């Protein structure tokens, strides 16, 4: 009986050793799962323009001073990125309209990671230009505040507002597709 018990213990021990050896071999041959590495944005990356509507700048007499195709930024992510990483306003000149949350209030933009110089137009809920920051410098983290409460912001190529006579008090209209 004792011999049978010893044989049983030896068999169990051998089975355990065999199990451990087999498991080690299985895990050794299994390739490790690697997390995908997020690729950094390269200097060649440039978001493309999405034509989502038209914007009109209207003089005090109601005449159209300028019309541009526009892209709309309304989600928090779209508002955050805006014109970042874009190298030009090509293939066509366009505007980017920011639909800011919270109604009329002081607004401020900066030019972090923005490669092209811009005019930044602050617009109130009556769709009148409150103020304009002309020729905002690319890649600059300086705060560029509105001179009054605004609900909307439009970015256009640097020099565009002056060349078209757009100034404080100019009415703005837009239509989304």
CATH of residue 159:
2.60.120.1140
Please say if the pLDDT value at position 29 is more than 60. no
Co-location of 170 and 123 in the same domain: yes
pLDDT at position 151 is 99
Co-location of 73 and 18 in the same domain: no
101, 112, 126, 134, 168 from 105: Cα distances, Å: 10, 22, 13, 20, 16
pLDDT at position 38 is 47
Co-location of 28 and 91 in the same domain: no
Calpha distance 105→66 (Å, rounded):
26
Tell me the pTM.
0.74
pLDDT at position 81 is 92
pLDDT at position 90 is 79
* CA 7 to chain CA mean position, Å: 71
Domain that holds residue 99: 53-176
Please say if the pLDDT value at position 119 is more than 90. yes
pLDDT at position 5 is 64
Q: What is the pLDDT of residues 54-74, one digit of tens each?
A: 999 999 899 999 999 999 999
Calpha distance 161→148 (Å, rounded):
18
Residue 40 lies inside a defined structural domain of this protein = no
Please say if the pLDDT value at position 17 is more than 70. no
């Amino acid at each position: 009986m004792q011999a049978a018990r010893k044989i049983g213990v030896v068999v169990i021990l051998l089975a355990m050793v065999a199990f451990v050896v087999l498991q080690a071999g299985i895990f050794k041959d299994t390739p490790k799962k690697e997390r995908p590495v997020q690729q950094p944005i390269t200097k060649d990356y440039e978001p493309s323009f999405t034509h989502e509507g038209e914007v009109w700048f209207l003089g005090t007499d109601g005449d159209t001073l300028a019309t541009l195709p526009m892209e709309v930024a309304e989600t928090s992510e779209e508002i955050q990125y805006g014109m970042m990483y874009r190298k030009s306003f090509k293939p066509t000149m366009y505007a980017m309209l920011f639909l800011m949350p919270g109604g009329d209030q002081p607004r401020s933009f900066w030019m972090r990671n923005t490669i092209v110089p811009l005019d930044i137009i602050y617009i109130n809920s009556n769709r009148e230009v409150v103020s304009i920051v002309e020729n905002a410098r690319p890649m600059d983290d300086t705060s560029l505040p509105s001179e009054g409460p605004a609900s909307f912001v439009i970015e256009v190529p640097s020099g565009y507002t002056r060349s078209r006579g757009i100034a404080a008090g100019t009415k703005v209209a837009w239509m989304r597709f």
